Amino acid sequence: MGKITKEEIKKLADLARISLDDAELESFRNDIDSIISYIKQIQEVSGKVDEENVSSGVFSLIKNKLREDENPHEGGKFSEDILKEAPQRQGNYFQVKKIL
């Protein structure tokens, strides 16, 4: 995969409903290129991970941290307020464009 283009950044910005000037476009392009490069490195490493590596070293530090909810609010308490902020709504759901 090649480097991301300014046109692709503009399209992403439009989808996110944000406006970017030329300097911001270039900055985001560089940031996204760095992120993609980092993801490629992770994919390379993850292909080399075996059970021996997982049970020792850094991978042994990775654990799920779970906690009980304290003072949870009643379900649906904020739903209407959140749905009012949606650009489009269908019943009790956000309506979004199909992307697949």
Q: Which CATH number fits the domain that encloses residue 33?
A: 1.10.20.60
* Cβ-count burial 64-92 (b if 16+ within 10 Å, e if not): eeeeeeeeeeeeeeeeeeeeeeeeeeeee
Provide the 8-state DSSP code for 20. -
The share of the chain scoring above pLDDT 70, in percent, equals 81
Evaluate whether residue 42 is within a structural domain.
Answer: yes
Evaluate whether residue 30 is within a structural domain.
Answer: yes
State residue 83's pLDDT score: 92
pTM assigned to the model: 0.43
Task: Tell me which of 54 and 45 has the higher pLDDT.
Answer: 45
**Mean of all residue pLDDT scores within the chain:** 82
Evaluate whether residue 19 is within a structural domain.
Answer: yes
Domain hosting 27: range is 1-51
Evaluate whether residue 6 is within a structural domain.
Answer: yes
State residue 73's pLDDT score: 80
Count of domains observed in the chain:
1
Task: Tell me which of 80 and 52 has the higher pLDDT.
Answer: 80
Asked whether the beta carbons of 88 and 95 are under 8 A apart, the reply is yes
What dihedral angle (degrees, nearest 10) is formed by the CA atoms of 25, 28, 30, 36? -130
Look at residue 86 and tell me whether its pLDDT is greater than 80: yes
